[in-house]
């Protein structure tokens, strides 16, 4: 234990039983464990900074600054019949002007929260001439999207004309302004997203779709593999390929700095347990993390994926990047494994669209329990959301299982909670499924990667039929949100077959 004593492992509270094959922990237990662990760590250490902040060093690169923050502009307009209303929905008693003001404020506030500029049209669209003029304005100005708020059952024709302007169109129809027939005409049209609801958080999520697309367009991803320097694209994402030696040399030139020591202190102190990693393992993992940040800055990129297994297999570096990649994910910056481009873009999707880190994994069928095991050695810990700094999943620090080198977090996902699986298998097509976490698998006795999450799949009768490889798992059931994003931007969605015969 001498190697670990320098990180105060005696202060860590062991709330994980390693004699069990599968750890079942509810979210309430998770949070209780986190609270207990935090209390133990902060006794006598009140000045410790959180793992999820940046060290106070003028030389340290702020990881969050690498995340793209493009300008996003959305025009918002109201479409209605000229008031006052008499009969017909939403009804004579409906406060037309009051609701217009309220929803205008809701949309503006949502844009402000997520960094989207809302340009609100002062005058509602109430006649065909106004609609035609607005469509021309949209075509001339080319905003990133348009939000049309409907205030009358007979305003759907106006919304349909706006959708023809060729700009992604979000139609918000508060209850009382739509029947199923109205919604059906536009709800499944590419480039359109219809919200027929009183649930205004759906508006913010729709604006996140627009922001996410712009972030993908502004992302330049570094692909570290092979011997060639070249540029390419994967859908809207620009790719910069660099030789693998670029990272190897950067790692070799990265010394043990105060930032490296700080990263190790925080990562080790906040772990429930440290099992295999030594002090040297931790410092090498921190050097890898710092080298990755520096390489992104040098190459003017926002994300990366590396041939990590190749470097470790050939012993070009003494550590895989697992610990650093986990920290990247927790700050909204994608760090993909194995130089796999599609899965890395899938990680970006969960980060940009939901502000949640994803978990790229290898799919393992557990045929006795009929569950899917999602297994890999990198998972973020802020699985509930990047903004929820005090609520993150507990983790145990392990070695990278295939090489027994370095530091890999075994992240314990909450049992009983829903998850979504996505994977771009082409730039314009992705796999999409959902399920529920039913356990966490330990290694040993199992082989394979350190974070291994058992998932009971929804709408898939046999776990052997789950589509994809290197799917990205993230917290929450977001199937409809992902489908809406894909419809808005022309991406084909493929679900795993319900039965083997259907596949």
pTM of the model: 0.88
Structure tokens at 363: 């799919």
User: Is residue 48 one of the residues assigned to a domain?
Assistant: no
**pLDDT, tens digit, for every residue of 347-401?**
999 999 999 999 999 999 999 999 999 999 999 999 999 987 778 899 999 999 8
Domain count along the chain: 2
In a domain, 501, yes or no: no
**How much is the average pLDDT of 183-206?**
95
**Torsion angle defined by CA atoms of residues 422, 425, 429 and 432, in that order, rounded to the nearest 10 degrees:** -20
The pLDDT value given to residue 177:
94
Statement to judge: residues 396 and 259 lie in one domain: yes
Is the CB of residue 186 less than 8 Å from the CB of residue 163? yes
Q: Considering the domain boundaries, does residue 205 fall inside one?
A: yes
Q: Are residues 306 and 394 in the same domain?
A: yes
Q: Contact at 8 Å (CB) between 495 and 463?
A: no
Main-chain dihedrals φ then ψ at residue 481, nearest 5 degrees = -65, -40
**Which tops the pLDDT comparison, 114 or 54?**
114
64 assigned to some structural domain? no
Last residue of a domain, one of 182, 216, 250: 216
Do residues 116 and 224 both lie within one domain? no
Residue 56 has pLDDT above 80, yes or no: no
Instruction: Specify whether 92 is located in the same domain as 119.
Output: yes
For residues 247 and 259, give the distance between their C-alpha atoms in angstroms, rounded to a whole number: 19
Which of 165, 185, 216 marks a domain boundary? 216
List, in order, residues 6 or more apart from 84 with CB less than 8 Å away: 92, 96
- Any idea what the CATH number is for the domain that residue 114 is in? 3.40.50.2300
Give yes or no: residues 422 and 295 share one domain: yes
Condensed to tens digits (0 to 9), the pLDDT of residues 33-43 reads 444 443 333 33
Tell which residue, 220, 116, 133, has the closest CA to residue 168.
Answer: 116
Where do the H-state alpha helices sit in 227-361?
Answer: 244-252, 258-269, 279-299, 308-313, 322-330, 341-354
φ, ψ at 206 (rounded to 5°):
-65, -40
Same domain, 351 and 405: yes
Measured CA to CA, the distance from residue 295 to residue 117 in angstroms comes to 32
Which domain CATH number covers 411? 3.20.14
Full domain range(s) for residue 108: 73-216
Residue 503 inside a domain? The answer is no
Work out the percent of the chain whose per-residue pLDDT is above 70: 88
Is 1 a domain residue? no
State whether 159 and 190 are in the same domain: yes
**Do 396 and 273 touch, CB atoms closer than 8 A?**
yes
- pLDDT tens digits, 263-318: 999 999 999 999 999 999 999 999 999 999 999 999 999 999 999 999 999 999 99
Q: Is the alpha carbon torsion for 296, 300, 303, 306 positive or negative? A: negative
Residue 51 has pLDDT above 60, yes or no: no
Q: What is the pLDDT of residue 414?
A: 97
Residues 243, 201, single domain; the answer is no
Given 176, 197, 216, which residue is the final one in a domain?
Answer: 216
How far is residue 417's CA from residue 22's CA, in Å, rounded to a whole number?
Answer: 16
Residues 6+ apart with CB under 8 A from 334: 221, 302, 303, 304, 305, 328, 344, 347, 348, 351
Same domain, 102 and 165: yes
Q: In DSSP terms, which residues pair with 222 in a beta bridge?
A: 240, 304
> Does residue 149 share a domain with residue 23?
no
Q: Is residue 138 part of a domain?
A: yes
* Model confidence pLDDT, tens digit, residues 117-140: 999 999 999 999 999 999 999 999
For residue 295, being part of any structural domain is answered with yes
Which residues, including other chains, have CB under 8 Å from residue 119's CB and lie 6 or more apart?
73, 74, 75, 76, 143
The helix, strand and coil proportions of the chain, stated in percent and rounded to the nearest 5, come to 35, 25, 40
Residues 212 and 237 in one domain: no
86 by Cβ neighbours in 10 Å (0-12 / 13-18 / 19+) ranks as exposed
Do 458 and 363 share a structural domain? yes
């Amino acid at each position: 234990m001498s190697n670990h004593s320098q990180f105060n492992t005696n202060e860590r509270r062991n709330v994980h039983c390693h004699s069990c094959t599968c750890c079942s922990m509810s979210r309430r237990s998770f949070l209780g464990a986190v609270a207990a662990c935090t209390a133990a760590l902060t006794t006598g250490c009140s000045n410790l900074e959180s793992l999820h902040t940046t060290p106070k060093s003028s030389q340290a690169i702020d990881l969050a600054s690498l995340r793209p923050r493009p300008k996003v502009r959305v025009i918002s307009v109201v479409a209605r019949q000229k008031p006052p209303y008499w009969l017909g929905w939403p009804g004579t008693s409906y406060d037309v002007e009051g609701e217009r003001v309220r929803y205008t404020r809701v949309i503006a506030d949502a844009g402000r929260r997520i960094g989207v500029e809302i340009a609100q049209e002062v005058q509602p669209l109430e006649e065909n001439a106004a609609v035609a003029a607005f469509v021309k304005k949209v075509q001339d100005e080319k905003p990133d999207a348009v939000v049309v708020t409907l205030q009358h059952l007979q305003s759907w024709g106006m919304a349909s004309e706006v959708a023809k302007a060729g700009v992604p169109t979000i139609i918000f129809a508060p209850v009382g302004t739509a029947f199923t027939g109205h919604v059906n005409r536009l709800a499944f049209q590419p480039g359109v997203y219809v919200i027929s609801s009183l649930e205004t958080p759906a508006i913010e999520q729709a604006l996140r779709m627009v922001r996410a697309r712009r972030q993908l367009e502004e992302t330049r991803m570094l692909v570290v593999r092979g011997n060639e320097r070249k540029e390419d694209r994967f859908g809207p994402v620009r790719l910069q390929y660099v030789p693998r030696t670029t990272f190897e040399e950067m790692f070799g030139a990265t010394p043990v700095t105060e930032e490296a020591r700080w990263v190790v202190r925080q990562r080790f102190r906040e772990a429930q347990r440290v099992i295999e990693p030594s002090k040297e393992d931790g410092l090498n993992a921190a050097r890898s993390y710092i080298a990755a940040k520096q390489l992104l800055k040098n190459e003017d990129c926002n994300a990366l994926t590396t041939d990590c297994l190749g470097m470790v297999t050939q012993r070009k570096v003494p550590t895989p990047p697992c610990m650093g990649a986990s920290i990247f994910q927790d700050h909204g910056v994608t760090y993909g494994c194995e130089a796999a481009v599609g899965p890395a873009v899938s990680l970006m999707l969960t980060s940009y669209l939901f502000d949640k880190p994803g978990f790229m994994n290898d799919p393992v069928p557990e045929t006795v329990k009929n569950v899917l095991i999602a297994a890999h050695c990198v998972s973020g810990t802020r699985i509930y959301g990047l903004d929820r700094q005090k609520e993150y999943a507990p983790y145990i620090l392990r070695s990278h299982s295939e090489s027994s080198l370095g530091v890999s977090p075994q992240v314990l996902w909450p049992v009983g909670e829903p998850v979504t699986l996505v994977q771009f298998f082409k730039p314009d097509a992705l796999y999409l499924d959902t399920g529920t976490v039913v356990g966490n698998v330990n290694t040993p006795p199992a082989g394979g990667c350190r974070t291994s999450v058992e998932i009971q799949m929804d709408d898939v009768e046999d776990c052997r039929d789950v589509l994809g490889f290197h799917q990205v798992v993230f917290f929450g059931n977001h199937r409809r949100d992902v489908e809406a994003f894909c419809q808005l931007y022309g991406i084909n969605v493929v679900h795993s077959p319900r039965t083997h015969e259907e596949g």
